Amino acid sequence: MVGIQRLKIAAWIAPAFLLALVAVFVVAPWSMTDKLQSVCFGI
């Protein structure tokens, strides 16, 4: 039972992480242009 619950939680870790990453990027307190430029700054 505990094992199944762990598997259910584990299945949500990656999507939750990726969604959180996008959310943090969107709400970060800089202009969107600057944020988009900064992602590619090193390229």
Partner 1 sequence: MGGTTLPGEAFLRANLPGYALIDPAQPTKLPLEARDFGIYVGFIFTWLYINAIGRGRAKGMPLFPMLLYLVIFVAVMGADGVNAFLYDLHQNAPVVPYLYAPRLELRLATGLLCGLAFGGIMTPVVNSTLWRDNDTRPVIGTWKQFLGGLGVMAVLFLMNYSEIGLFYWPLAIVTSGATVILIAMINMVFVLSISGKEGSAATWRDALNPFAVAVILALVELGVLSLMRYAVLGTTVLP
List residues binding partner 1 (CB under 8 A): 11, 13-15, 17-18, 21, 33, 35-43
Q: Which CB, 1 or 7, lies closer to partner 1?
A: 7
Shortest Å, Cβ 30 to partner 1: 13
Question: Taking a C-beta distance cutoff of 8 angstroms, is the pair 20, 27 a contact?
Answer: no
Q: Give the Cα separation of 30 and 25 in Å (integer).
A: 9
Q: Which CB, 1 or 26, lies closer to partner 1?
A: 26
Look up residue 20 and give its two tokens: 């959180």
Q: Give the Cα separation of 9 and 3 in Å (integer).
A: 10
Shortest Å, Cβ 35 to partner 1: 8
